[in-house]
Amino acid sequence: VIGTSLGLALTARGVSREAVVFEPEAEAREQIARRGLAAVDRLDSLPPDPDAVWLAAPPAAIERLLPEVARRAPRALVTDTASVKRSILEAAARVRRQAPAFLFVGSHPMAGSERSGAAAAAADLFLGSPVAICRLPGVPEAAAAQVARAWQLAGGVPLSLTAEEHDAAVALTSHLPQLAASALAAFVARRAIPESYEEAFLGPGFRDTTRLAGSSPSLWAEILQRNEDHVRPLLEALARDLAAWAGPSPAGSWEERLAEGRRFRRRLEGE
Amino acid sequence: VIGTSLGLALTARGVSREAVVFEPEAEAREQIARRGLAAVDRLDSLPPDPDAVWLAAPPAAIERLLPEVARRAPRALVTDTASVKRSILEAAARVRRQAPAFLFVGSHPMAGSERSGAAAAAADLFLGSPVAICRLPGVPEAAAAQVARAWQLAGGVPLSLTAEEHDAAVALTSHLPQLAASALAAFVARRAIPESYEEAFLGPGFRDTTRLAGSSPSLWAEILQRNEDHVRPLLEALARDLAAWAGPSPAGSWEERLAEGRRFRRRLEGE
């Protein structure tokens, strides 16, 4: 969904004269072709000497592809779309030690869709979405500015920060909610309520709170493994908070606790 | 929102010939009147000898009103709409010890709106919503059947169960998600990320996961206090699960944990 949306957005906005997608899976290639983009099944079949390479894949695949991209497209400006940035920038830094001209800038478009695949792609997927831009130390500012400008033309709102700042922020704002949603869904799954009640009682509140639990386990395992040093202490602290809420409490404390969460929600909604 | 929606639904479906709402707050009364229902500011002003009384109020107010309703409407079939049922049925049982003819049946319509107040009311609010029906022991089955039938005519799907079964089920499926959402929102509120990042990073995933944290703290404190014996052990167990997820783990365990939550979500979505 991210790669094809990018191809559509960059082509529609005139950023790309020619966009070709590398996609190893035949069914996905057909979907991409149906969306009007060229798709090839081998890296060999990509146009030689591209101006830019966008890596829209899970983190492990991006890290694996980087050395090969540096070999095949030595003059290209290369960026990615992964939800973690330190491990990606570390992999790019290793490539740059062999190929000092390799121009890599990390990107994380904070857009998405619950759906995946090219069929769910849209040229306006990034419209108004924040895009974290993490420059690899040593790579010229001008390269980061070019990547930021391309995202802007694709509809995004670029935001410069270091990979460390990025990964700390997403640990709190994205990875912890993901784990809380998954833990709650797994918890309820293990405590069977009579099946005849299930549909009645698992209403919109439960469904919203656990919506993120529908995300891809294999993709998220890759993301979480790469951000464990930020995520684990937060998870521990949240577990301590919940345990404290479960403990004996003075009267009225439920209300105070709930009020704190509501104040933040209201501020967030601009109320 | 519940009381006015009920009034609209019961009138529209021909269940009520005359529906009059008791509402002590002047502004709320005006909203109710604007929706085409009669509203009075004193219990004295309600029509005498009603066939039925629907108590749509927070649990503590319902418990307080029950003895007065039994005095003023001794022949009425009385029901409520509260999210907890044991404390309500216990209060009704105390009234029945003084007034053995008092006909009370507990109801919990599992519908709702993020908005509150008569302005957000709708005759179709209960369309397709499950409604728990908890008969007070000693009250004839026929009374419970009449309440269930009225809910059905208002669009709901009645479901008979004991107050204990109800409160155990909502502890898991509603009260625990409420607390998880509030705890997560309060947790993130206390860990300031730079304000310029806040809007960028707190995206749809965080907002969905914490949507319930926007609920009324005073109403929810009443609900939780009345279901603490079910809620606290669940909260403790969820805290233990999160702490275990935060601990050292064999490779691949993130994926297994996330997969368990996803299996349940998929089953729930009928996928």
Q: Tell me: the pLDDT tens digits for A113-172?
A: 667 788 889 999 999 999 999 999 999 999 999 999 999 999 999 999 999 999 999 999
Q: Is A113 an 8 Å CB contact of chain B?
A: no
Which chain B residues are closer than 8 Å to A254 by Cβ? 217, 220-221, 224-225
Report the pLDDT value the prediction gives residue B8, as an integer from 0 to 100. 95
CA angle B155, B156, B159 (to 5 degrees): 155
Closest CB to B197: pick one of A169, A178, A202: A169
Report the pLDDT value the prediction gives residue B235, as an integer from 0 to 100. 96
Q: Is A173 an 8 Å CB contact of chain B?
A: yes
Q: Are B128 and B155 in contact (CB under 8 A)?
A: yes
Name the pTM for this structure. 0.92
Closest CB to B246: pick one of A159, A232, A245: A232
Question: In chain B, which residue's Cα lies nearest the Cα of A260?
Answer: B186
Report the pLDDT value the prediction gives residue B250, as an integer from 0 to 100. 62
Long-range contacts of A87-90 (CB under 8 A, 24+ apart): A87/A59, A87/A63, A87/A226, A88/A59, A88/A62, A88/A63, A88/A163, A89/A134, A89/A136, A89/A163
Q: Is B200 an 8 Å CB contact of chain A?
A: yes
pLDDT tens-digit profile of B43-63?
999 999 999 999 999 999 999
On the question of pLDDT at A252 being above 70, the answer is no
Rounded to a whole number of angstroms, the distance from the CA of B17 to the nearest CA of chain A is 30
Q: Are B57 and B66 in contact (CB under 8 A)?
A: no
- DSSP letter for B173, please: I
On the question of pLDDT at A205 being above 80, the answer is yes
Q: Is A255 an 8 Å CB contact of chain B?
A: yes
Q: Is A99 an 8 Å CB contact of chain B?
A: no
- DSSP letter for B175, please: I
* B81: phi then psi, degrees, rounded to nearest 5: -140, 15
Which chain B residues are closer than 8 Å to A214 by Cβ? 262, 265-266, 269
pLDDT tens-digit profile of B236-248?
999 999 999 998 7
Report the pLDDT value the prediction gives residue A200, as an integer from 0 to 100. 85
Q: How far is residue B73's CA from residue B70's CA, in Å, rounded to a whole number?
A: 5
pLDDT band of residue B252 (cuts 50, 70, 90) is low
Which chain B residues are closer than 8 Å to A234 by Cβ? 191
Q: Is B201 an 8 Å CB contact of chain A?
A: yes
- Report the SS3 class of residue B224: helix
Which tokens go with B22?
């008791």
Interface residue of B83, B110, B173, B241 to substitute, partner A, most A CBs within 10 Å: B173
Report the pLDDT value the prediction gives residue B111, as an integer from 0 to 100. 83
Tell which A residues from 68 to 87 touch B, by Cβ distance under 8 Å: none
Q: Is B182 an 8 Å CB contact of chain A?
A: yes
B15-19, B240-244, B252-256: segment of lowest average pLDDT:
B252-256
pLDDT tens-digit profile of A255-266?
999 999 999 999
Q: How far is residue A21's CA from residue A147's CA, in Å, rounded to a whole number?
A: 18
Q: What is the mean pLDDT of chain B?
A: 93
Which chain B residues are closer than 8 Å to A192 by Cβ? none
Closest CB to B213: pick one of A168, A201, A265: A265
| Interval A232-259 mean pLDDT | 89
Q: Is A191 an 8 Å CB contact of chain B?
A: yes
Report the pLDDT value the prediction gives residue A258, as an integer from 0 to 100. 95
* B7: phi then psi, degrees, rounded to nearest 5: -60, -45
Report the pLDDT value the prediction gives residue B116, as an integer from 0 to 100. 76
pLDDT tens-digit profile of B137-179?
999 999 999 999 999 999 999 999 999 999 999 999 999 999 9
Closest CB to A179: pick one of B245, B263, B265: B245
Cβ contact, residue pair B255, A187, below 8 Å: no
Interface residue of A161, A184, A223 to substitute, partner B, most B CBs within 10 Å: A184
Report the pLDDT value the prediction gives residue A113, as an integer from 0 to 100. 63
β-pairing verdict for A38-40 and B20-22:
unpaired
* A21: phi then psi, degrees, rounded to nearest 5: -100, 130
Report the pLDDT value the prediction gives residue B29, as an integer from 0 to 100. 96
Q: Is A246 an 8 Å CB contact of chain B?
A: yes
Output B266 or A105, whichever has higher pLDDT. A105
Q: How far is residue B176's CA from residue A246's CA, in Å, rounded to a whole number?
A: 11
Question: In chain B, which residue's Cα lies nearest the Cα of A200?
Answer: B130
pLDDT tens-digit profile of A15-64?
888 999 999 999 999 999 999 999 999 999 999 999 999 999 999 999 99
Q: Who contacts B249 (Cβ-Cβ below 8 Å, separation ≥6)? A: none
Reported as type and span, the H/E element at residue B78 is strand B77-80
- Helices then strands, counting H and E runs in chain B, come out as 12, 7
Cβ contact, residue pair B200, A157, below 8 Å: yes
Q: Is A224 an 8 Å CB contact of chain B?
A: yes
Q: How far is residue B5's CA from residue B180's CA, in Å, rounded to a whole number?
A: 29
Q: How far is residue A224's CA from residue B255's CA, in Å, rounded to a whole number?
A: 9
pLDDT band of residue A271 (cuts 50, 70, 90) is low
Q: How far is residue A139's CA from residue A99's CA, in Å, rounded to a whole number?
A: 12
CA angle B82, B85, B90 (to 5 degrees): 120
Cβ contact, residue pair A201, B169, below 8 Å: yes
Q: How far is residue B223's CA from residue B178's CA, in Å, rounded to a whole number?
A: 11
